[in-house]
Amino acid sequence: MKQDAILFIDVDDSVSVRYSYREPHFAAARAQGLVCLTAGVAGRHHLQRLRDDSDEVFLLESLTEQSILDLVGRLDGRYQVRAIFCHAGHPSAQGEVGCIVAHTCKRLGLVFSCPEAIAACNNKYLMRRMLQKQGLRSVPFALCNNEQELQAGADRVGYPLIAKPPFGGASAFITKCSNWAQLRSHYAHFLSDHGAASYADFYGYAHSLPEADGQRREYIPGRSILLEGYIPGVEGSVECVVIGERVHALLINEKLLLTERSGTVLENLLISPPTSFTAQQCEQIREYAAACLRAVGLTNAVVHFEFRMTDAGPVVIEINPRVGGLYVNAALRDLAAINPHQLYMQLLLGEPGLNAQLEAGAHKVANGDQHYAMLAVYPEHSGHFKGIEGLQFLEHHASVLEYAQQDAGHYIDADIEEHYLLKCWAKVDDAADAHALHDAIRQNLHVIIENRV
């Protein structure tokens, strides 16, 4: 008799794990009696990572629809593969796994997200283009592949502007530029050092973009850079779920404290529910997020939507077709009574009643009066991360609900991308209380980084 199973396609073969995504979804799947299978591309350096939490691991010759279809065919005698999924926000040099998995699921008759929408979410240039086409509030933008295009693009977009890779993760090589000298210097830094980012694989692979206005554009990892008009205002995120084509904008997080480094922007402190937005603004944010998701065509997904609230209204920063990082999972659990990993499994398996479950979660969020804070500790300088002293402060703090430290023993470049060494989830009374807790954690914990650069 065949066993019901799910199959995860893993492309994270970095020295240190880039995200915890497969593991919590597997835990939710096992609770439903499913066998958890993983496939990766042959030649991986860190195969044991997959074996540690998978019932079986399979190696593909390449990351293609056909290789996944062939694997499912070989498994057919033993397993009924009910769902295939991946970290859809991780484009890889081996291929854009989210799109490949979506196309494969479509061919197999499994639940899938729109592949063109996943491509638009991961490539911020395509996202801006689709919003522009739909007439939704956005900013000027330009895709540049050399210094000449960079200068011309900056003249069109105007200063100040944000320069960043169209694809990417961990806010790598993102900076605000106020003039040509700053932009030119940042681009030179990106060209020479883009491969140093631990999230470099997220740049994806070289390919031609869909035509617009009769023009074909090329995307070249490590060379293509996106310019966007700077968005002023308070930053936040909306945690959304799309069931079929119906968008549920569940929860808004406000970013209370951001730190700008030379090549990255760090999120130090967030609060949920937000304290700076009125009820009317929150409704406007939810409606805008839903409109943006419909504009890019995203279906059947858990989504982390980032924005800034301007005088004209919310403006999108990026759309991520996956559960948010830090403690977004805890925020959904504690404010909406929803386990996003369990919900995504239910979505992939085609289970009924999810819209009603999400409506109940939205009602719980609207009627809740407890605030929560997400905090992150980042390195002050580059070097080898050895660990953190003083964690007993968190153990004994009445407000702290959860915390987690990044694995020690790795070299960290503090200036080109986001490395949170510790994350924390806590109950707070308001924004002032959240700031006070953040300050206390900074005072009582000591980060050990050796070999200062």
For residue range 273-315, list pLDDT tens digits in order: 999 999 999 999 999 999 999 999 999 999 999 999 999 999 9
Average pLDDT over residues 52-75: 96
Whether residue 216 has pLDDT greater than 90: no
Looking at the chain, the whole-number percentage of residues with pLDDT higher than 70 is 99
Instruction: Quote the CA–CA distance of 211 and 165 in Å, as a whole number.
Output: 20
Average pLDDT over residues 224-237: 96
pLDDT for position 116? 95
pLDDT for position 452? 54
Lowest mean pLDDT: which of 85-94, 148-157, 229-238, 358-367? 85-94
Beta bridge partners of 95: 92
Token reading at 146: 């050399």
Domain ranges of the chain: 3-112, 140-229, 234-450
Token reading at 173: 């090589």
pLDDT for position 453? 45
Higher pLDDT, 16 or 105: 105
> In whole numbers, what is the pLDDT of the chain averaged over residues?
93
Average pLDDT over residues 261-281: 90
CATH match of 140-229 with 3.30.1490.20:
yes
pTM of the model: 0.94
State the CB neighbour count (10 A cutoff) for residue 379.
Answer: 18
Q: Is 433 helix (H, G, I), strand (E, B) or coil?
A: helix
Token reading at 308: 């800034």
CB-CB contact of 37 with 5 (8 Å): yes
Q: Is the bond preceding residue 232 a cis peptide, omega within 30 degrees?
A: no
Average pLDDT over residues 192-201: 82
With CA atoms as reference, report the closest residue to 250 among 150, 360, 386: 360
CA dist 150 to 125, 143, 196, 210, 343, Å?
A: 14, 8, 22, 21, 43
Q: How far apart are the first and last CA of the chain?
A: 59
Whether residue 374 has pLDDT greater than 80: yes
Average pLDDT over residues 18-27: 91
pLDDT for position 313? 97
Instruction: Quote the CA–CA distance of 140 and 259 in Å, as a whole number.
Output: 24
- Could you tell me which residues come within 8 angstroms of residue 361 by beta carbon, excluding any fewer than 6 positions away? 248, 250, 332, 336, 337, 338
pLDDT for position 83? 98
Average pLDDT over residues 30-57: 94
Phi/psi for 42 (5° steps) reads -55, 150
Looking up tokens 């839903």 gives 290
Average pLDDT over residues 78-87: 96
- State how far Cα 7 lies from the chain centre: 21
CA dist 353 to 294, 363, 367, Å?
A: 21, 16, 22
Pairing of strands 234-243, 246-260: antiparallel
Average pLDDT over residues 344-368: 96
Hey, what CATH topology would domain 234-450 get? D-amino Acid Aminotransferase; Chain A, domain 1 (3.30.470)
Hey, what CATH topology would domain 3-112 get? Rossmann fold (3.40.50)
Q: pLDDT band for 412, please (50, 70, 90 cuts).
A: confident
Token reading at 59: 């190696």
Whether residue 318 has pLDDT greater than 70: yes
